[in-house]
């Protein structure tokens, strides 16, 4: 009961902090907030805290605090079995509501969130521009007509809309400090929110910059203003650099470039460092605090991931499938636990020193205590190089085999066994999309062997697997023991395979799995000790590191500003209190350039990251020293077991193999619904986007979650799309 109360308390605290932070954005455009906030800043200026510390605490720290509390919240809930899915009228909003090839699959919650965000942008723009037009005053430096002045104000307010998008831009792509993970949204699924926000930000910023340049052009001031690096106020040249860098990043991230020239996208996206620095110089410290929460968490997250991937490990063995798929066996620490459908990020320095690629984990940490396996489909430059490198090892002598070092980030995945929420499971996979489902199939034997009553397996699991060639069926070989459906099994698994580009009759699934003997295995000759994959730092320690970084940043920021920024205090003692406050508000801006405060923010941030890195390195070193792996015995025993998997027993004949066409998913769904008699069904799909859209439409049509009031029990289909390629 105590643990449940703590979880509820943490949830309430996160809601309150999030509400307070969102309220700041709603109130900031109003005159009420402007008056109150200026008074608060002038009051804080006399204290040690200063307005710099006040801005950080009010604008930035609430999001950091939510991330820290969320990590503790996830830790308390991790690996616990949640109750079965409860039907409610609100459950329908998490299911697909719109399926389109243009915008993808959208749920009711996503549509509502997008609508509220657009409403917030409209509110911000209207409030700002209406106030500007009522108090429109000519600019002394620029002699503009009335329409030019109004258009310039509109352009300026579009810059604030870009700022609002930038405040949320980096939050969806966090991995260790994942704020979206608290909402049950995994990193690979939340990447599209990052894409939406980035596109909106670039659109607003482009209008902001192009319109400003247009006004300068028609008023013949463009040559004077475009290269100006003024002492105070907005630094225009920094803004122009920010816009150009942002456009380069956005253009190179378009699908046409990202999918065909991934290297260009990857390297150009690292220009975000230049983008953020020049945005700070352009917008100033007060505006930067509004978006600093995402920047702070992203940089800290990046730092923790770099340390997590050190030191490098090595591939223990590999299996080459005829369908040009490689299974990699990696060493894992026995204490590392992860849930099915988790993903990991891999870098192989011998192929590329900087590129990271994500892959679904196919093994179960409950069964495989010493190793972790991933499947890699070789259809790109990076993956093809990996395949060719391993294949070349087959022709070399055992003594001449070169070990392949790899760096690993992750695993990242759900905090609990989410597939156990449902009475029945319907899995739909296409091609290499089978990989996340293999982890589920491997987890089931361990789960049904667990005597704890909290584990309740789905009574029926049906896997629909669509492939172009029968060679892909060999990927199911490792799950052949579960396909036998022994009477002792607590759940019933049925497999339906559809081979679309081959015509063949009479072959059973067991016969086709036996043909998987063509798989070639490579055992790398490793000498000396190697390090195992330890995974991310403990959630408690990650939350503590975030707290250390934020406190260190605040302390150094306050110290630097009191040392390097003039206080503006009046020593004569004859001014009135009103004049003193006015002097204190203006002195720093008059006596030091506006970019000085920006440099102090960057310096404080670098120092805080350095201090946090030192603590994280110590924790990492102690963990590695305490849990070093016995490598020789692992290589000789466990790898041999995993790389020599054979199909034992006879696979049940009830499994179906169809040739020569795609499945009629509508009929397959109807048959499964009739067999389960209106129970709660979890529908998981992994494969091409067209397959996901088809399955989403069927879930939308056949789910009875809107018919709660009916006495007849209708089926409830909960849709989940799994993405493992980014």
186 — phi, psi (to 5°)?
-80, 160
The pLDDT tens digits for 64-98 are 999 999 999 888 876 444 445 445 444 556 777 78
Angle, in degrees to the nearest 10, between helices 187-218 and 146-169: 160
Return the CATH number of the domain spanning residue range 313-533+664-704+713-722.
3.40.50.80
Map out the domains of the chain as residue ranges: 97-228, 239-277, 313-533+664-704+713-722
Q: Are 149 and 211 in contact (CB under 8 A)?
A: no
The number of residues making up the chain comes to: 726
- Secondary structure (DSSP) of 487-541: TT-SSEEEEEEEESS----S--HHHHHHGGGG-EEEE----S--PPB--SPPHHH
pLDDT at 301: 92
Gap between the Cα atoms of 28 and 226, Å rounded: 29
pTM: 0.86
pLDDT at 46: 78
Q: In what order do the strands lie in the sheet with 317-321?
A: 371-377, 325-331, 317-321, 520-523
In this structure, what token pair is assigned to residue 476?
């199911």
Distance from chain centroid for Cα 365: 22
pLDDT at 237: 87
Q: Which residues of the chain have pLDDT under 50?
A: 79-83, 85-86, 88-90, 452-453, 569-591, 629-649, 705-711
Q: Which string of b and e fits 228-246 if b means at least 16 CB within 10 Å?
A: eeeeeebbbbbbbbbbebb
For β-strands 460-467 and 424-430, DSSP reports them as: parallel
């Amino acid at each position: 009961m105590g643990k449940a109360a703590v979880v509820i308390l943490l949830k309430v605290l996160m809601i309150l902090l999030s509400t307070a932070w969102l309220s700041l954005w709603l109130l900031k455009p109003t005159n009420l907030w402007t008056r109150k906030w200026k008074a608060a800043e002038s009051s804080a200026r006399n204290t040690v805290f200063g307005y710099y510390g006040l801005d950080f605490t009010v604008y930035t720290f609430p999001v950091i605090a939510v991330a820290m509390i969320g990590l503790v919240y996830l830790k308390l809930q991790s690996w616990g079995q949640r109750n079965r899915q409860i039907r409610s009228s609100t459950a329908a909003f998490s299911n697909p509501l719109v399926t389109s090839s243009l915008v993808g699959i959208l749920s009711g919650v996503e549509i509502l969130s997008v609508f509220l965000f657009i409403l917030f942008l409209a509110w911000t723009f209207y409030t700002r521009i209406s106030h500007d037009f009522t108090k429109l005053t000519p600019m002394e430096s620029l002699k503009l007509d009335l329409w030019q002045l109004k258009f310039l104000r509109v352009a300026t307010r579009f810059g604030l809309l870009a700022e609002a998008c930038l405040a949320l831009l980096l939050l969806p792509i966090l991995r260790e400090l994942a704020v979206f993970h608290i909402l049950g949204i995994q990193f690979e699924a939340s990447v599209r929110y990052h894409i939406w926000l980035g596109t909106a930000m670039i659109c607003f910023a482009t209008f902001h910059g192009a319109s400003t340049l247009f006004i300068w052009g028609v008023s013949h001031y463009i040559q004077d203003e475009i290269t100006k690096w003024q002492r105070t106020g907005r630094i225009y040249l920094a803004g122009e650099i920010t816009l150009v860098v942002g456009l380069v990043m956005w253009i190179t991230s378009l699908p046409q470039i990202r999918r065909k020239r991934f290297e260009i996208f990857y390297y150009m996206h690292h220009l975000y460092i230049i983008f953020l620095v020049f945005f700070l110089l352009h917008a100033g410290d007060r505006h930067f605090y509004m978006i600093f929460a995402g920047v702070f968490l992203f940089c800290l997250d990046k730092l923790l991931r770099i340390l997590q991937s050190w030191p490098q490990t090595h591939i223990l063995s590999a299996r080459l499938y005829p369908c040009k798929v490689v299974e990699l066996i990696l060493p894992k620490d026995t204490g590392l636990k992860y849930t099915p459908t988790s993903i990991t990020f891999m870098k192989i320095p011998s192929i590329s020193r900087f590129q990271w690629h994500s892959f679904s984990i196919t093994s179960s940490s409950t069964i495989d205590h010493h190793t972790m396996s991933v499947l890699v489909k070789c259809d790109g430059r990076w993956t093809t190089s990996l395949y060719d490198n391993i294949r070349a090892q087959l022709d070399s002598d055992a003594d001449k085999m070169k070990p392949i070092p790899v760096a690993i980030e992750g695993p990242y995945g759900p905090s609990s066994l989410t597939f156990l929420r449902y009475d029945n499971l319907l899995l739909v996979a296409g091609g290499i999309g089978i990989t996340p489902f293999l982890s589920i199939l491997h987890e089931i034997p361990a789960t049904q062997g667990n005597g704890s009553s909290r584990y309740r397996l789905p009574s029926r699991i049906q896997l629909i697997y669509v492939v172009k060639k029968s060679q892909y069926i060999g990927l199911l070989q490792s799950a052949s023991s579960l396909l036998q459906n022994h009477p002792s099994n607590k759940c019933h698994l049925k497999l339906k395979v559809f081979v679309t580009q081959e015509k063949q009759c009479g072959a059973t699934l067991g016969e086709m799995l036996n043909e998987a003997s063509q798989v070639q295995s490579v055992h790398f000759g490793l000498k000396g000790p190697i390090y195992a994959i330890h995974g991310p730092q403990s959630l408690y320690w990650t939350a503590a590191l975030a707290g250390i970084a934020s406190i260190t940043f605040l302390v150094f920021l306050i110290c630097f500003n009191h040392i390097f920024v003039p206080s503006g205090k009046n020593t004569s003692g004859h001014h009135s209190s009103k004049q003193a406050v006015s002097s204190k508000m203006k002195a720093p801006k008059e006596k030091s350039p506006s970019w000085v405060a920006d440099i102090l923010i960057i310096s404080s941030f670098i120092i805080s990251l350095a201090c946090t890195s030192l603590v994280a390195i110590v924790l990492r070193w102690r963990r590695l020293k305490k849990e070093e792996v016995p490598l020789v015995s692992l290589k000789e025993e466990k790898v041999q077991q995993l790389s020599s998997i054979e199909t034992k027993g006879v696979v049940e004949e009830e499994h179906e193999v169809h040739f020569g066409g795609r499945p009629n998913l509508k009929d397959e769904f109807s048959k499964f619904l009739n067999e389960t008699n209106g129970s709660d069904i979890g529908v998981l799909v992994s494969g091409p986007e067209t397959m996901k859209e088809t399955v989403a439409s069927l879930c939308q049509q056949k789910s009875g979650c809107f018919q709660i009031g009916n006495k007849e029990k209708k089926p409830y289909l909960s849709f989940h799309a799994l993405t493992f390629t980014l």
